[in-house]
């Protein structure tokens, strides 16, 4: 993966680039959690699944913008989704 070409992000990431670790969709990191790229959501949004002998914990970041609606009906999605239909399927 290449760093952004210019601007503040490129300047900041350039300073720490030797310490950055990039991952691919479905990778398991640190033998602890699996990452899944949510292609229907906003670019770069990922789901993280933490697993151990006690069970699993799934962290969805900013996927559920309104708990009263999207946790009850994840298939509804939000206007920020890049692919509304796919996003609803990914959150289930």
Give domain status of residue 9, yes or no.
no
Q: Is residue 1 part of a domain?
A: no
pLDDT of amino acid 33: 87
Distance of CA 69 to the CA centre of its chain: 20
Tell me, yes or no, whether 53 lies in a domain: yes
The pTM (predicted TM-score) of the whole model is 0.56
DSSP string, 2-39: PPPSSHHHHHHHHHHGGG-----TT-EETTTEEEEE-T
Please list the pLDDT of the chain residue by residue as tens digits (92 residues).
555 556 777 788 888 989 988 888 899 988 888 988 888 777 777 888 898 888 888 887 665 556 665 666 666 666 777 777 777 676 55
Instruction: Please indicate, yes or no, if residue 56 is contained in any of the structural domains.
Output: yes
Domain containing residue 74: 22-90
Strand order in the sheet with 28-29: 28-29, 33-37, 46-52, 55-59
Total number of domains in the chain: 1
Instruction: Identify the pLDDT of residue 27.
Output: 92
In a domain, 79, yes or no: yes
User: Looking at the domain assignment, is residue 13 inside a domain?
Assistant: no
Q: In this structure, is residue 6 part of a structural domain?
A: no
């Amino acid at each position: 993966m290449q760093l952004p070409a210019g601007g503040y992000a490129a300047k900041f990431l350039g300073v720490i680039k030797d310490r950055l670790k990039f991952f691919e969709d479905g990778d398991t990191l640190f033998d602890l959690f699996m990452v899944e790229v949510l292609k229907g959501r906003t670019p770069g949004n990922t789901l993280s699944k933490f697993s151990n002998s006690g069970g699993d914990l799934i962290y969805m970041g900013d996927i559920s913008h309104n708990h009263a609606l999207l946790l009850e009906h994840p298939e509804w999605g939000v206007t920020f989704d890049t692919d509304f239909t796919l996003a609803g399927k990914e959150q289930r």
